[in-house]
Amino acid sequence: MAMMSSVPIAPPPTVRVLPTMLAALVASLLFVVGLSVVARLTAEGAVMPPPPALLDDVDAGTPADGDGAGAVVVDGVDAGVVDEVVDAGVLVTVEGGPDAGPEPLTPPTVDGPPYDVRAVAAAAAALVADCSKDALRWDPSLGGPFTLRVTLPAADVVDQSPVIVVDGLRSPVLQGCLQRRQRTLDLPAGATGLLVSQVVTARAALGTDGSVSVSDETVMAP
């Protein structure tokens, strides 16, 4: 029969969970507090460069730091020691040099056309009204708003007769009458022999009685 050992077996070590966690928490808090204290002491001991002196901080001839001396810097220009100048109440300013850049250019003035734009539109409207009499006999529903265009040719063009177009009025009778009679249009002075071709436009309306009204006359390049 085997003999049994009489040496007692030691029990496993007992781990106290709650005291261990409390000790770790206290150690972490102490570490964080220590870091905060060190950072604050370091920040308080650091020397920060003073901001540049401003003209608004000068009161009754005394600089902003109150020591009665120093240099005033305006827009990056060192004005030197200004003890006497500041005490005398003189404001130090820096003016721009002679080379301030080119002056803004004045837009050139443009002369208007050498003729009366309204007179050209009125003459063309009178011709449209005259030609509309025959057109209304063929189409009594003809009428309403349209755009009146009068093209004035340049002096180097062989055919010097103006070209009249009525955008918005569809009538072969009206178009044929305008093509036949537009060369007889009585234009105002200066509307012929132009250096370049120009177009006079206007808002117009044809009434049921054949009358034509025009407005907003203007001139533009073709």
How many helices (H) and strands (E) the chain has is answered by: 4, 6
Question: Do residues 151 and 214 both lie within one domain?
Answer: yes
The pLDDT, as a whole number, for residue 34 is: 76
Question: Do residues 157 and 204 both lie within one domain?
Answer: yes
SS3 154: strand
Tens digit of pLDDT for each residue in 91-123? Answer: 555 555 555 556 656 545 446 789 999 999 999
Within-domain flag for 14: no
Within-domain flag for 128: yes
User: Which amino acid, 183?
Assistant: R
The pLDDT, as a whole number, for residue 42 is: 65
Element (DSSP H or E) covering residue 212: strand 212-220
Within-domain flag for 123: yes
By mean pLDDT, which of 61-70, 136-145, 171-180 is the weakest? 61-70
Tens digit of pLDDT for each residue in 75-87? Answer: 444 545 444 444 5
The pLDDT, as a whole number, for residue 110 is: 46
User: Which domain range does residue 59 map to?
Assistant: 55-87
Buried b (16+ CB within 10 A) or exposed e, 171-184: bebbbebbeeebee
Q: What percent of the chain has pLDDT over 70?
A: 59
The pLDDT, as a whole number, for residue 121 is: 97
Beta bridge partners of 218: 201
Among 66, 87, 108, identify where a domain stops: 87
Within-domain flag for 82: yes
Pick the closest to residue 146 from 84, 213, 205 (CA basis). Answer: 205
Strands 212-220 and 144-152: unpaired
Within-domain flag for 43: no
Question: Do residues 59 and 154 both lie within one domain?
Answer: no
Question: Do residues 171 and 82 both lie within one domain?
Answer: no
Question: Do residues 122 and 176 both lie within one domain?
Answer: yes
Beta bridge partners of 145: 205
SS3 163: strand
Pick the closest to residue 162 from 175, 171, 149 (CA basis). Answer: 149
Question: Do residues 121 and 189 both lie within one domain?
Answer: yes
Better-scored residue on pLDDT, 181 or 106: 181
Question: Quick check: 43 pLDDT over 50?
Answer: yes
**How many domains would you assign to the chain?**
2
Among 44, 69, 87, identify where a domain stops: 87
Question: Do residues 63 and 131 both lie within one domain?
Answer: no
Among 69, 87, 105, identify where a domain stops: 87
Q: Which band of pLDDT confidence, cut at 50, 70 and 90, is reported for residue 64? A: very low
Question: Quick check: 171 pLDDT over 90?
Answer: yes
Q: What is the pTM of this model?
A: 0.51
The pLDDT, as a whole number, for residue 77 is: 45
Question: Do residues 121 and 212 both lie within one domain?
Answer: yes
